[in-house]
Structure 1
Amino acid sequence: MQLSDQNTYSIQNIDPHHFTEKFGSPLYVYDGATIRRKVQELQHAFPGINMKIKYACKANTNLSILRLMREIGVELDVVSPGELEMGLIAGYSASQITFTPSGVPFEEVREAVDAGAIVNVDSIPLLEWFGQTYGNTKPCLIRIKPNVAAGGNAKIMTAHADSKFGISVLLLDQILEVVKKYDIKIIGLHQHTGSDIKDAEPFLKVADILFETAKHFPDLEIVDLGGGFKVSYLPGDQITDMDLLGRKISERFKKFCSEYGRELQLWFEPGKFLVSESGYLLVNATVVKEDPARNFVHVNSGLNHLIRPMMYGSYHHILNVSNPAGEPKTYNVVGYICETDTFATDRTLPEVKAGDLLAFLNAGAYGFTMSSNYNARQRPAEILVDQAEAKLIRRRETLEDLLKTQTDL
């Protein structure tokens, strides 16, 4: 079944009413075909390059999503011991997992190394500790901060001078001094500029910085350019031209490898790019309130299930699944949390009535993974539609789930 509106947004392979009747509402739905297509899109952008995709799984850590990624040849980037363990449970070998911490206790790094994952070192103190602890017996990557500002907004920029992430490229001499002191085995350099970068220029700028920095490390195997490719949220949204970016990055990478003296692997770590478009949050309208200032559509969900609009000001396109051809009206779409909890402001939708089923698009990334139990609300179920099969991949939470870690019962 395909549902669409005048803006050509559509739900493919999904029957929303059938799924909410069977699994309840609110409900997260993921389309495996979309994930497969996005992986192929990235692969096809870099023909002839020894390129590896490392899924930044903080975007969506459901084990079924991780298993799908493994099935289609995508490896893993994790940021915590919990994500590392999930990757192992999903069937990844530790050598297929990169651990990219951000100022974590060094004991977490030890856990990752002991498990067999490759660590991405993000600070001079951690580099010192790594050298003191392992010398040249364990390989690692170094996360370089190129001091380039790019991304959708300040909250998702990660490579500018004021960002907490990585070691500033201006500290290269200090990095090299520590590496030499402990004879640390550096097999790769990494950077991640941010998210929602639509132009090729920032990627090219940081690539040039990383390629130049790499010349100071003689034993590299990997150059990792991170992720951050722009996906479409608004109607007519400009997205990253992957073919153009792939062509330009490939040209620079081949030139760098020629100058370096051997072919290296080029890594990317997309998260949102691979899973965002695959996801839908299905909700029901509970109350339609006509107010002198605004018309409000209240729904049976909130920032506890999808925090991106409130946290980042993110746009999620909304379809009225129950009345797609209704008369257009303007609403504020709001949640049921006892806070200012707004999904959309002054949004034009086909007329909404209580009980109507609405679909929030681009909900596959940073939806469930950033959800909470605020207001003692339970998190929704998740299903995966793949290879003509719809499978429940997480049951709906119950009050008992919220209470089971409390001891004074």
Structure 2
Amino acid sequence: MNSSTLIELTQQHGTPLYVYDGSIIRRQVKSLQDAFADVDMRIKYACKANTNLAILRLMRELGVEIDVVSMGEMQMALLAGYAPEQLTFTPSGVPFEEVREAVEAGAKINVDSLPLLEWFGQNYGDTQPCLIRLKPNVAAGGNAKIMTGHSDSKFGISVLLLDDIMNIVERYNLKIIGLHQHTGSDIKEADAFLQASEVIFKAAMRFPDLEIIDLGGGFKVSYKPGDTTTDMQRLGAEITRGFQDFCQSYGRELQLWFEPGKYLVSECGQLLVQATVIKEDPARDFVHVDSGLNHLIRPMMYGSYHHILNLSNPDGPARNYDVVGYICETDTFATDRELPEVRPGDILAFLNAGAYGFTMSSHYNARYRPAEVLVDEGEARLVRRHETLDDLLRTQLDLN
């Protein structure tokens, strides 16, 4: 989308505004499908990245299934038209009754702890198949906060406890139809996936009823101009080779699953904001904008980089700024960032905001959450309106 189109959208819908480009989602889905064309591969979109119903419906249209981590996400996926059998529930220490709800809804369950596996066996025995999430003890990812497969991670059951897993499986005659792992996020090299897959393939030989090997997600996307990304063709070729060898040793063809979230939606999204105050300080110059960590928390939470464009003055003289939000906390989007001169009223675009932007937003400082627009196949649709005071008060009871 060009700058004039984005500025026009802010004139129609105000700022801050999330804008998603459906053509990029289509491109990312196709790149994954093409890379694994030689195996029975299923994409299970990790919808915690972006749960807007319009995005979920587009994923369904593209043949992408869904991985959910809460009953709220499951209900949204069902509203978007997904069939229960297209859903995988991958909880992390949730109340067991939530797992029961997911079973009754018809989703596949991905068990992430020995206590849950025991409970599952006691309640369902051999009547309900499930997957098991293993922790392969492989450290990989953009930073420690988004690594999920290392030995100290809360996620999954350590592969070192495989004998304990087998004891429970055999005690209750559980039918384990899949093994799952997720190493982390922002993984550039194929080596981490290959290392984790070797662990899973070895463990898989102890489970006779497998239908699925799920290698998670975490593929790296481009954040800065010229940034490196996961070489999907190389990754596809190397994992396909290893998976085919495993299937031959196992004795039959299995499905290969991936659970990308950020990879599918990060680059499609931009958060459009307006510069409000330019504060020239002896130490540094600040650009204040009409948004904050309540709308895009990733820079403050993860130290993530979001490239920033000045859509209103792209050819202005270069200056260095701290770009900061309007929340009453340290609320910094970028430090000492070179931008074309920013003036009050200029529209700035924060790129790579399609994943974990709106879904991690909040009402902090009693601020409203922004609207969302999906641009796809030549049509720009408002898919979420700006919030109002009524939205902040909707669940409060003592209003008099």
User: Which TM bucket (shorter chain)?
Assistant: over 0.9
The percentage of aligned residue pairs carrying the same residue is: 72
Q: Deviations over 1:93-122 (max 9, x none)?
A: 010000000000000000000000000000
Q: Deviations over 1:121-164 (max 9, x none)?
A: 00000000000000011110000000111000000000100000
Residue identity matched to 2:250: Y
Determine if the alignment matches structure 1 residue 390 to structure 2 residue 372: no
Corresponding residue of 2:31: 41
Corresponding residue of 1:218: 208
Corresponding residue of 1:377: 367
Find the partner of 1:265 among 246, 255, 259. 255
Separation (CA, whole Å) in 1 of partners of 2:317 and 2:29 = 38
Corresponding residue of 1:78: 68
Q: Deviations over 1:7-33 (max 9, x none)?
A: xxxxxxx71111001011100000000
Corresponding residue of 1:283: 273
Separation (CA, whole Å) in 1 of partners of 2:201 and 2:278 = 56
Find the partner of 1:133 among 123, 129, 132. 123
Separation (CA, whole Å) in 2 of partners of 1:295 and 1:91 = 49
Corresponding residue of 2:337: 347
Corresponding residue of 2:100: 110
Q: Deviations over 1:243-270 (max 9, x none)?
A: 0000000000000000000000000000
Q: Deviations over 1:377-398 (max 9, x none)?
A: 0000001001111111001000
3-state secondary structure, aligned to 1:391: strand
Corresponding residue of 1:22: 12
Residue identity matched to 1:122: D
Determine if the alignment matches structure 1 residue 192 to structure 2 residue 169: no
Q: How does 1:165-204 map to 2 (within 5 A)?
A: 165-204=155-194
Q: Deviations over 1:68-110 (max 9, x none)?
A: 0001100000000000000100000010000000000000000
Residue identity matched to 2:27: R
Determine if the alignment matches structure 1 residue 96 to structure 2 residue 86: yes
Separation (CA, whole Å) in 2 of partners of 1:117 and 1:403 = 33
3-state secondary structure, aligned to 2:275: strand
| Moved segments of 4+, more than 3 Å | none
Find the partner of 1:58 among 34, 38, 48. 48
Determine if the alignment matches structure 1 residue 2 to structure 2 residue 2: yes
Residue identity matched to 2:35: A
Measure how far apart 1:236 and its partner are.
Answer: 2.1
Measure how far apart 1:2 and its partner are.
Answer: 2.6
Separation (CA, whole Å) in 2 of partners of 1:186 and 1:278 = 36
Find the partner of 2:347 among 357, 372, 378. 357
Separation (CA, whole Å) in 2 of partners of 1:389 and 1:17 = 16
Separation (CA, whole Å) in 1 of partners of 2:175 and 2:209 = 8
Corresponding residue of 2:110: 120
Corresponding residue of 1:6: none
Residue identity matched to 1:124: L
Corresponding residue of 2:144: 154
Measure how far apart 1:234 and its partner are.
Answer: 1.8
Question: Could you state the TM-score of these two structures normalised by the residue count of structure 1?
Answer: 0.97
Q: Deviations over 1:341-394 (max 9, x none)?
A: 000000000000000000000000000000000000000000100111111100
Measure how far apart 1:48 and its partner are.
Answer: 1.3
3-state secondary structure, aligned to 1:205: helix
Q: Deviations over 1:214-248 (max 9, x none)?
A: 00001100000000000011222211100000000
Separation (CA, whole Å) in 2 of partners of 1:320 and 1:187 = 50
3-state secondary structure, aligned to 1:15: helix
3-state secondary structure, aligned to 2:138: coil
Residue identity matched to 2:123: T
Separation (CA, whole Å) in 1 of partners of 2:27 and 2:129 = 33
Gaps of 5+ in 1: 4-13
3-state secondary structure, aligned to 2:356: coil
Determine if the alignment matches structure 1 residue 87 to structure 2 residue 77: yes
CA RMSD of aligned residues (A): 0.7
Separation (CA, whole Å) in 2 of partners of 1:239 and 1:387 = 26
Q: How many residues align?
A: 399
3-state secondary structure, aligned to 1:66: helix
Separation (CA, whole Å) in 2 of partners of 1:141 and 1:103 = 15
